[in-house]
Amino acid sequence: MKIAVVGTGYVGLVTGTCFADSGNEVICVDINKAKVDALNRGEIPIYEPGLAELVEHNVEAKRLKFTTDLAAAVKTAEIVYLAVGTPQGADGAANLSALWSVVETLAPHLRTDAVVVTKSTVPVGTCARITSMLREFTGRDCDVASNPEFLKEGAAIEDFMKPDRVVVGVRRQEVADILHQLYEPFLRTEKPFLSMSPESAEMTKYVANALLSTKISFINEMANLCERMGGDINDVRRGIGHDSRIGFAFLFPGVGYGGSCFPKDVRALEAMAIQHGLEPTILRAVDAVNERQKSVIASKIEQHFGAELAGKTIAVWGLAFKPRTDDIREAPALTLIDWLLEKGAKVRVHDPEAMNNVRADYGDKLAYCDMRMDAIDGADALCIMTEWKDYHSPDFAEMYQLLKSPVIFDGRNLYEPDRMRRRGYKYFSIGRPT
C-alpha cells in the first residue's frame, strides 16, 4: 500500500519505518526541513534501539522516504497517518493546533478513496471533528479512522512489530478491512485486531495510559506506607503479583512516572472529564501522588543532610525518564536536580544517552561525567534516578573508595538493602527498610 505519515516524532517515525519494513511504500512528512534532510541522510534525531538500522535498511530499499512536501506525499497515498505532536495545553487539555493545520493543508490533495488515520493521542471526538472538517474542505465524506499507538519508548520497534493488540476505530467495515490487511504481517502471533467506534478507540488509548499510571501511583503510595510501617514493598509486590488477577506489570515503585505520555494523558483525560461535568477524582489523585513522588528522593536527602546541603556534591545517575531512551521530558531526575541546585548543592551527573539533552537545558550549572564512576568521585552522596543496566552491578568496593561518604539514595530499588548495609553503605531506597 502507499502510505503517507505526517509527523516524524517518535510515533510517526516508528510507524512509517515499520510499515515500510513490512513492504509498503511509505513517505514521511515533517515541516522541519533540517530534520527531513537529516533523516534522508540516515541520521535519526532520537535514540531508540534498532530504529537507525531499520530506517537505513528501508531507505536503501527505496520503500521509505522523507519530505517536507505534504501535498505531494498525500496526493498518491491510500492511507494518510496523522502523527503530529499533541502537547499539553495551558488548561491540561491536549493542544491540537498542529493537527488542525495539517488537516486543512492536506484536504485539497486527498485521493477520493484515501483513509485518514489518527495515530497521535487525541481527545475523544477528534476523529469526528476531522471528518466534519474534511467534509467542509472537500465537499465530500472522507473516511477517518482512529488507530491508537501503544508502543513504549526504548522498546518501540519490538512493540510495533509484535503488538499485544491492534485497536482501530472506524465508521465502516471496509475501512476496518483495509487496516486489518495493513496490520496482518504484525499479527502473525494470533494477537487480536479489535475494531470499534472511533470514540471507543480514542478512549481506549487514554484509559490504557491512565490505568498504567494509576498502578504506578498506587504502588508508590503503598511503598511510602511500607516505609513508615516497617514492611518491604518488594516482598509485598511479590505477595500480590502472584495473584493472577493482579499480576506484576507496572507495579515497580520508584521516583514517579515521567515521559511525554503518562503525565500529559492523565491530565488530558482529567480535562475531558471536567469539560463533561464529571469530577475526575481518581485521575487527580494519580497525578497528585506522582508529583509528590518525584520529590521522594529530595525528602530523603533533606532528612539525611538537614540544613547542611549547601556546598555538598551530589552525584546523579540516570537522567532520562526511563532506561533505553534519551528522552528527559517530565523526568523525575530533573525535579531532583532543580531542587538540589536551589539548595546550593553541586551536582555531578551521568546518563548513557540523555546527557546532551540535559546539557542543552542546564548548561554549566551541572558537571557532566562521561563515566559513571567519575560522577561519584569525591561526592557526598549518590542518587539513582533511572534503572539503566549500567547501574545494576557496579563495583561496590570501588564506589566506597570514591564516595566522600558512602551514602546512596536509590530511587529504583536496584540493590539489596541488607547487602548494602554489610558493605558499609548508608542505603536509602523506596518502600524498603533502611
Quote the CA–CA distance of 167 and 193 in Å, as a whole number. Answer: 6
Could you tell me the smallest distance in angstroms from the CB atom of residue 395 to ligand UGA? 25
Which CA distances in Å does 388 have to 22, 251, 323? 31, 18, 5
With a CB cutoff of 8 Å and minimum separation 6, the contacts of 94 are: 86, 87, 88, 121, 122, 123, 264, 268
Could you tell me the smallest distance in angstroms from the CB atom of residue 334 to ligand UGA? 12
Cβ proximity of 320 and 331 under 8 Å = yes
Find out whether 254 is annotated in a ligand binding site.
yes
Find out whether 104 is annotated in a ligand binding site.
no
Find out whether 205 is annotated in a ligand binding site.
yes
Residue with smaller CB distance to ligand UGA, 30 or 387: 387
**Residues taking part in catalysis:** 261
Quote the CA–CA distance of 432 and 33 in Å, as a whole number. Answer: 50
Find out whether 341 is annotated in a ligand binding site.
no
Could you tell me the smallest distance in angstroms from the CB atom of residue 320 to ligand UGA? 9
Residue with smaller CB distance to ligand UGA, 252 or 391: 252
Residue with smaller CB distance to ligand UGA, 254 or 431: 254
With a CB cutoff of 8 Å and minimum separation 6, the contacts of 271 are: 91, 92, 93
Find out whether 215 is annotated in a ligand binding site.
no
Residue with smaller CB distance to ligand UGA, 112 or 189: 189
Quote the CA–CA distance of 189 and 166 in Å, as a whole number. Answer: 12
Find out whether 264 is annotated in a ligand binding site.
yes
Residue with smaller CB distance to ligand UGA, 149 or 380: 149
Find out whether 65 is annotated in a ligand binding site.
no
Residue with smaller CB distance to ligand UGA, 143 or 351: 351
Quote the CA–CA distance of 157 and 55 in Å, as a whole number. Answer: 11
Find out whether 152 is annotated in a ligand binding site.
yes
Residue with smaller CB distance to ligand UGA, 48 or 143: 48
Could you tell me the smallest distance in angstroms from the CB atom of residue 220 to ligand UGA? 7
Could you tell me the smallest distance in angstroms from the CB atom of residue 58 to ligand UGA? 22
Could you tell me the smallest distance in angstroms from the CB atom of residue 237 to ligand UGA? 9
With a CB cutoff of 8 Å and minimum separation 6, the contacts of 424 are: 400, 406
What phi and psi values does residue 118 have, to the nearest 5 degrees? -90, 130
Cβ proximity of 269 and 210 under 8 Å = yes
Cβ proximity of 219 and 194 under 8 Å = no
Q: By CB under 6 A, name the binding residues for ligand UGA.
A: 121, 149-153, 209, 212, 216, 250-252, 254, 257-259, 261-262, 321-322
Find out whether 121 is annotated in a ligand binding site.
yes
Report helix angle 281-293 to 262-275, nearest 10. Answer: 150
Quote the CA–CA distance of 82 and 93 in Å, as a whole number. Answer: 19
Annotated binding site for substrate: 150-153, 205, 250-254, 258, 322
Annotated binding site: 30, 35, 86, 121, 150-153, 205, 250-254, 258, 264, 322, 329
Annotated binding site for NAD(+): 30, 35, 86, 121, 153, 264, 329
